[in-house]
Amino acid sequence: MAAVFRAGVKQLIAPNGKCLLSVQLPAISQSCNITGKSFRGKTADRPKPWDYKNKGYNVIHSIFDKTRWRWDENSKIIVVDGPIASGKTDFAKSLADELEMMFMPEPHMDRVYVNSYGFDLRTLNDKLPPACRSIENKDFLMHPENMYIANYQFYMMVMRFHDYIDALAHVFNTGQGVVLERSIYSDFVFMETMFKHGYLSKNVRSYYHQIMYHILPELMKPHLAIYLDVPVAEVKNRIKKRNIDYEVNSKVLTDEYLTTLESIYKQQYLKDISKHAELLVYDWSNYGDAEVVVEDIERIDFDRFEKHDPKLRDWRLGHEEEYNAKRMWYTNEKPTLMRYLNIPRLDVPELMLTADENDIYNTVVAESPGNRYDEGYNEDAGDTGLLTKTKTPWIVRE
């Protein structure tokens, strides 16, 4: 038997000349340069996005649905970074629109503390011991001396890791690129800045980097990193203008803290990410135009590197089966990847609960609306499931 390609069709031909299998190959025009929507070709022939959230993606699927059939020049991951109040959100949204990519905003702590019924766990703080109380950005900015502030930074790291896995799964299954506002790769900038100013302990920092050492090799680095550069004086001016109370009156957002943040971004993050991804840096003191940035992006040849060049090496896998294997990994094994975060350490009391604290937390949470049983079985939240009394209690934190 032999495989024969004819006019966009792959056929499996038996020795007697009979066609045993015929598969229509999608006619997608491949290009190494990202292009804006004004100049993109038609994508009508692109296969429909794979319903990976419901179907998953397995070996059988891979026989009939190849990963790169959906890919085109814009099937890439772009991360956007910059200091506080730099205008990242609006820029990243505009960039995603211009490139017809999916936009993923920076994680918010509502994802941790608001359950699927809309109940906010932060309202339980007065019933909980200090180690169990919710903590978020405004708490850090107003009370950085709180020893449990490390929980906030670790939650942000976990959510960024979670989102980056989602971004990879999206690209592999739909062919649509993704623009992320900050990412797991720049998360350490905030950890290091907090540590340098005494808000986190040496053991917390050590534990953080131990986790990052285990999780980052499992990911594929972005194709392009964009940094919006804004001087510290202008950052402070913008903070004042947007007039958010906990930012304006923050004990943290001093000239010294913002200068350290800027320095780590430029001296560590940008230097490191530029070894693996394309990098564009813009003076965003007076903001800018996403369309101009798109023109710069369109000039980048992402396919100019040799096989063993470290830049973009993650994305040069060789055979189609390797791309399919990566697709299966990010599509099906997210729970496995998230377990890479579970590294036991007994020398970080800021991140630990005693047995009594844990018992109080679980009791208080279980008595709050929508938290006693699995979703769909909580009568106190309006559910009418017949098996309400037999389901396992839903525990947020162990």
For residue 4, pLDDT beyond 60 = no
Count Cα atoms within 13 angstroms, Cβ side, for 2.
6
Q: Is 102 left (phi over 0), alpha (psi -120 to 50) or beta?
A: beta
Measured N-to-C along each axis, helices 290-298 and 88-98 cross at an angle, to the nearest 10 degrees, of 50
Residue 135 is encoded by which pair of tokens? 């903590």
Q: pLDDT tens across 202-256, in order?
A: 999 999 999 999 999 999 999 999 999 999 999 999 999 999 999 999 999 999 9
pLDDT grade, residue 373 (50/70/90)?
confident
For residue 217, give every residue at least 6 positions away whose Cβ sits within 8 Å of its Cβ, in sequence order, or none. none
Distance from C-alpha of 41 to C-alpha of 35, rounded to nearest angstrom: 9
Q: pLDDT tens across 80-136, in order?
A: 999 999 999 999 999 999 999 999 999 999 999 999 899 999 999 999 999 999 999
For residue 15, pLDDT beyond 60 = no
For residue 10, pLDDT beyond 50 = no
**Residue 295's pLDDT is what?**
94
Distance from C-alpha of 340 to C-alpha of 360, rounded to nearest angstrom: 27
For residue 388, pLDDT beyond 70 = no
For residue 41, pLDDT beyond 80 = no
Is-contact 222 77, C-beta < 8 A?
Answer: yes
Q: For the chain, what is the mean pLDDT?
A: 89
Bridge partners, 2 (sequence order): 13
Least confident piece of the model among 26-35, 60-69, 223-232: 26-35
Distance from C-alpha of 82 to C-alpha of 77, rounded to nearest angstrom: 17
For residue 59, pLDDT beyond 80 = yes
Count Cα atoms within 13 angstroms, Cβ side, for 248.
7
Measured N-to-C along each axis, helices 255-264 and 232-242 cross at an angle, to the nearest 10 degrees, of 120
**Residue 32's pLDDT is what?**
62
- Helix (H) / strand (E) element for 240: namely helix 232-242
**φ, ψ (nearest 5 deg) of residue 114:** -105, 120
Q: What is the mean pLDDT of residues 268-297?
A: 96
pTM score of the predicted model: 0.88
Summarize the chain as % helix, strand, coil (round to 5).
45, 10, 45
